[in-house]
Each structure stands twice: as structure tokens, then as C-alpha cells.
């Protein structure tokens, strides 16, 4: 893709506003901490890995927002407050907290050192934070490339697959997770033997319809948009090789939180004998959680269900529930693909494999 999903250059953070897709490709500058918070909350940036990268750069933006390098105690206070505020933007995607924990370690290592540098030769606080955020971004690129290799080896030429939500470059700022695997598989087999992707629309925000189809069209990968509730029929009537999804948080036993609708897709895949794959970097695995019961589920504005896009589709005052994620039990997952390889189920011990 020739569109920069996220860029941090000369202290300026710009992102592709994903709420404007597919109609327009608009880059916006996040020129302060509040702008970064709003971008994450309102889904201008979304996808677990990209949220983490954005938050990491957001700490740098917050310190730069203060103007000339502030006194050390002030700089540390600014960073700690930024980390606290960014951690409150979205609760489910563990990459957010993983990235902010890394930024916290940088802040605490500097203690009361000066923002411009320390007597023992360590870089100043801001350069150290910017280096750590850039490292998180680069590690994501490397991880995405590795997952694409591991996952694409599981997909034969000519396969028809289903995917849910958006897990491509827009979700990571790099190659993508599950969709990155599918893109790699298509390129591997070539146009004549390439794959075909059935894209769930992914209500109520339509990330599949708005974003995944845009990516696949841009990259020349054959695809068909389907209603979420058509997936089971497709599995029954057509030869579906596999289902590929990403993840926002994976527990140590393999239970996986992902966009709402993933659980039902996994149940239908099991019923129809279709392989179900989760693709995510190891940073998405929360080894502090034994199982999915402890994964916090974000509940978003009910109006996203009752009045999507601001257009009411139900009578005024109709109660609506809007959980943004669900948890798929590990026993329904054929394998979890990380940058370290393919972890096969139905029984997982990710503390052993990734700890």
C-alpha cells in the first residue's frame, strides 16, 4: 500500500483517518495528547497493534506539547499523566497496555534525570521515548512479516477463505495480522492460483465493508463482501478452506477476544468442519490471564447499533446493547499463528510456548 497508516517524523504524528474510508484517504496530525486520545476512542486509529503504536507515540507527543524541554520533575509528571490517560481510552486490546508499559519503563529509568541528557551519557527523556516508540513500530513490522510466512504456508492455491473485521495494514501500521497472511498467500500463489477472500461486513461499525474491502481492492486480492449472518450458509454451500481472524487479547489457555461476531463464526466453522485460525503477535497474548473469563469487554455507545452512521434504524428510545468484542473458547480454534510459529490446538499452553 502506498498510503501511510501512521508516521512520526520530526516530532509530528500523523495517521490515516480510518473513519473517512473508503470514501477518502485523509491524513490528520495528532498535535497533542487530547487529539491522540480522541483518535483512539473514535476509531480514527484502530486495530490492537496500531493502537499500541499510536499510544507509544502519543506519550512523545504529550511531552513535545509542553514546548521547550521542561524541568525533569515536570517532564516525568507529563509522561505519567499521558500514560494514565492513554490507558483509559480502550480496555480490551492488550497491545495498548503492553506498549504503555514499555514507555513507562523508559520514564522510570530516567527518574529525575534531565530531559536533555544525563551525566552518565544516557539520552534525554524525549529521545529515549521516541526511540522506544520507533522500536515498537519496527518490531510490529518484523512480527507481521513473520506471521505472514507462517500463516500463508497453511493456505493452498485457489483456497476460498472467510475473514472478519479488519486485520490488514490498517490495523497494524505494517503488513497486518490475519489479513496480512491472506495477502501473502495470494501473492505466493500468484493471480492464477491465488485465493479468494469472503469479507464479513462486521457490524455495527462495518470494518470489513469499509476497510478490509478497501485494502483488498487496493492490493488486487480477489474478494467478495458478505453479510455477517451469511457466513454459515457460505460454509454449507461452498468449499470454504478456512476462517482467519485477528485478536485483541489472548489468554494463556488460548481463549481469544476479538471483534464481536468472531465467537459465532468459530461455532459455525466447527459445525461445518472448517479450520479456524487466529493470527496475532505475541504482544497480544496476556500471560497474566489463565483464561478468557478475565478479559475485559468494551461496551460502546448503543447508538452505533440503533442509529449506525447517525441514521436511526429503530424506534426512538429502543434499548440497544453494543459489546465491541466477544471471547472465542480455545477449543474452537484450530491454531494460533504468532511471529514465533503455528501453535496448534485444541489445547494451548501459551505460557510455555511464549513465556
Q: Which residues are catalytic?
A: 248
- Give the integer Cα–Cα distance in Å for 173 and 190: 24
Taken in order 258, 135, 355, 295, the sign of the CA dihedral is negative
Helix (H) or strand (E) holding 346: none
φ/ψ (deg, to 5) at 272: -95, 5
How far apart CA 88 and CA 237 sit, in angstroms, is 44
HSE-up of 2 (CA within 13 Å, CB side)?
A: 2
DSSP 101: H
Nearest to 267 by CA among 324, 180, 326: 326
Secondary structure in 3-state letters for 226-237: ECHHHHHHHHHH
Secondary structure (3-state) at 177: coil
Amino acid at each position: 500500500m502506498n498510503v501511510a497508516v501512521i508516521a512520526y517524523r520530526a516530532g509530528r504524528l500523523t495517521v490515516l483517518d480510518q473513519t473517512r474510508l473508503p470514501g477518502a484517504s485523509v491524513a490528520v496530525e495528532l498535535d497533542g495528547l487530547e487529539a491522540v486520545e480522541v483518535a483512539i476512542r473514535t476509531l480514527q486509529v484502530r486495530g490492537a497493534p496500531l493502537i499500541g503504536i499510536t499510544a507509544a507515540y502519543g506519550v512523545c507527543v504529550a511531552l513535545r506539547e509542553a514546548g521547550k524541554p521542561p524541568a525533569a520533575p515536570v517532564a516525568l509528571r507529563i509522561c505519567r499523566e499521558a500514560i494514565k490517560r492513554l490507558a483509559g481510552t480502550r480496555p480490551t486490546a492488550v497491545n495498548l497496555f503492553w506498549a504503555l508499559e514499555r514507555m513507562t519503563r523508559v520514564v522510570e529509568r530516567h527518574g529525575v534525570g534531565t530531559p536533555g541528557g544525563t551525566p552518565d551519557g544516557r539520552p534525554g527523556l524525549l529521545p529515549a521515548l521516541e526511540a522506544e516508540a520507533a522500536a515498537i513500530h519496527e518490531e510490529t513490522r518484523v512480527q507481521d512479516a513473520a506471521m505472514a510466512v507462517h500463516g500463508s504456508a497453511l493456505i493452498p492455491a485457489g483456497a476460498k477463505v472467510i475473514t472478519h473485521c479488519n486485520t490488514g495494514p490498517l490495523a497494524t501500521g505494517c503488513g497486518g495480522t490475519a489479513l496480512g497472511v491472506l495477502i501473502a498467500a495470494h501473492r505466493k500463489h500468484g493471480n492464477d492460483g491465488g485465493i479468494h477472500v469472503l469479507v464479513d461486513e462486521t457490524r455495527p461499525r462495518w470494518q470489513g465493508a469499509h476497510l478490509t474491502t478497501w485494502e483488498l481492492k487496493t492490493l488486487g486480492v480477489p474478494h467478495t463482501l458478505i453479510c455477517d449472518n451469511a457466513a454459515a450458509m457460505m460454509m454449507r454451500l461452498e468449499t470454504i478452506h478456512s476462517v482467519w481472524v485477528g485478536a485483541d487479547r489472548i489468554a494463556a489457555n488460548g481463549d481469544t477476544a476479538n471483534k464481536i461476531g468472531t465467537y459465532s463464526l468459530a461455532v459455525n466453522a466447527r459445525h461445518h468442519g472448517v479450520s479456524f485460525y487466529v493470527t496475532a503477535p505475541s504482544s497480544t497474548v496476556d500471560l497474566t490471564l489463565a483464561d478468557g473469563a478475565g478479559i475485559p469487554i468494551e461496551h460502546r455507545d448503543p447508538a452505533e447499533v440503533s442509529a449506525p452512521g447517525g441514521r436511526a434504524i429503530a424506534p426512538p428510545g429502543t434499548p440497544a446493547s453494543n459489546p465491541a468484542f466477544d471471547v472465542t473458547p480455545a477449543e474452537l480454534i484450530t491454531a494460533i499463528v504468532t511471529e514465533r510459529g503455528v501453535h496448534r490446538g485444541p489445547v494451548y499452553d501459551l505460557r510455555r510456548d511464549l513465556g
